[in-house]
Amino acid sequence: MNSRDLVKKALHFEHCDEIPTDRHDATGPMFTYGKGRISGVPFGVKGERTDEWGVKWAAAEDGVSGEVVEPLIKEWSDLDGFKPPYDVLEEADLSGVDAFCESSDKFIVPMWWANYNLFERMQNLRGTEQLLIDLALKEPELFKLRDMVHDYFMRQAKLWVNTKIDALHIADDWGSQSSLLISPKMWREMFKPYYKEYCDLAHQHGKYVIMHSDGYIYDIIEDLIEIGVDAVNSQLFCMDIDQLAEKFHGRIAFWGEIDRQTTLPFGTEEDCRKAVRRVANAFFKYGKTGIIGQAFVGKDISEENLAAVYDEWKKI
């Protein structure tokens, strides 16, 4: 059985003799986008840069995305002359994607490079604190901004669903260490219908949907299942892993992950192996499926600890 089929078995909750991992069984294709408003140092390099939307960022060290220096839409009046960088999509070259997918036996996801991060992009444009105030006030301009950003991502999604990739990747961080950043009610009103549109479009074209979100997101996992998210990449160790397994096994797949706040950067190789077994013991009492092994790659995480994680999944 090839890697692509193994991932699909896990997503369909079929028994897996071997646990698929995203280090070996899933990957992303090569493609190019238009430059948009990009300038400054490259992403992940120390210094200041401007992203394709025109937002200014600063990174204090290499290997991090940095922080927004100055929101682009400080006042709602700034929204009047603002347009998303549609030229980024209009100048995109995806001509090699299908051949790449056909040449590989891996599960292909344009992960991290072609995201659908509605909430985070709105934060980048308005600033996190201001956006949270906006969500409380619900002025008409907030909805205009949301719809504008969503339209951009829908246009992006329509490019990708017409290729031979296997899945789209939503990436929005919704959780703090112990709760959602906004109330579940507000999340359902303001964002859930828009995520559903990404899922509906993907499924109409035979694609899966993987969603990433940091933090505690237990309160919306039922909603993610309802709108059609096939797998969630979440910080399992911020939540009750046994509770997650008991309630959601066989209903949504879990694309990792192993604790990257403590275990991966500061633990031993044996600590990493124990963390893998902790996840496996919780979920596999309901059947050996629905899990894709995954671990975060970061500048403070050693290759030895990453190797221990993936080796333990292989042993399991």
Residue 115's pLDDT band, with cuts at 50, 70 and 90, is confident
CB-based burial of residue 240 (10 Å sphere; 0-12 exposed, 13-18 middle, 19+ buried)?
middle
Residue 25's pLDDT band, with cuts at 50, 70 and 90, is low
267-287: average pLDDT: 97
Residue 64's pLDDT band, with cuts at 50, 70 and 90, is confident
What are the structure tokens assigned to 165, written together?
Answer: 């990739």
Mean pLDDT of the chain, nearest integer? 94
Domain that holds residue 303: 3-34+75-315
Helix (H, G, I), strand (E, B) or coil at 20: coil
Q: Is the pLDDT of residue 170 over 90?
A: yes
With vertex at residue 177, the alpha carbon angle to CA 312 and CA 233, rounded to the nearest 5 degrees, is 45
Q: Is the pLDDT of residue 113 over 80?
A: no
Nearest Cα to Cα of residue 224 among 198, 245, 201, 243 = 198
Task: Render 113-176 in DSSP notation, one character per residue.
Answer: TSEE-HHHHHHHHH-HHHHHHHHHH--HHHHHHHHHHHHHHHHHHHHHTTSS-SEEEEE---B-
The DSSP H or E segment spanning 275 is helix 269-283
Residues ≥6 apart with Cβ < 8 Å to 153: 116, 117, 118, 121, 198
Residue 67 lies in a domain: no
Residue 144 lies in a domain: yes
First-last CA distance in the chain: 17
What are the structure tokens assigned to 27, written together?
Answer: 């990957």
Residue 62 lies in a domain: no
pLDDT of residue 1: 81
> Tell me: the pLDDT tens digits for 124-162?
999 999 999 999 999 999 999 999 999 999 999 999 999
Residues ≥6 apart with Cβ < 8 Å to 132: 181, 182
pLDDT of residue 26: 62
Q: Is the pLDDT of residue 48 over 80?
A: yes
pLDDT of residue 27: 65
More confident residue, 299 or 201: 201
Check: CB of residue 97 under 8 Å from CB of residue 165. yes
Q: Is the pLDDT of residue 28 over 70?
A: no
What are the structure tokens assigned to 129, written together?
Answer: 């604190």
> Tell me: the pLDDT tens digits for 201-248?
999 999 999 999 999 999 999 999 999 999 999 999 999 999 999 999
Torsion of CA 94, 100, 101, 107, to 10 degrees: -110
Task: State the sign of the Cα–Cα–Cα–Cα dihedral 84, 88, 90, 96.
Answer: negative
Q: Is the pLDDT of residue 260 over 90?
A: yes
Residue 184's pLDDT band, with cuts at 50, 70 and 90, is very high
90-106: average pLDDT: 94
List the CATH number of the domain containing 118. 3.20.20.210
Residue 42 lies in a domain: no
Residues ≥6 apart with Cβ < 8 Å to 226: none
5-9: average pLDDT: 96
pLDDT of residue 29: 64
Task: Render 28-63 in DSSP notation, one character per residue.
Answer: ----B---TT-EESPTTSSEEEE-TTS-EEEESSTT
What are the structure tokens assigned to 291, written together?
Answer: 């899990």
Residue 111's pLDDT band, with cuts at 50, 70 and 90, is confident
Residue 7 lies in a domain: yes
Residue 190 lies in a domain: yes
More confident residue, 42 or 222: 222
Residue 236 lies in a domain: yes
109-117: average pLDDT: 84
Residue 66 lies in a domain: no
Structurally, how many domains does the chain consist of?
Answer: 1
The DSSP H or E segment spanning 68 is strand 67-70
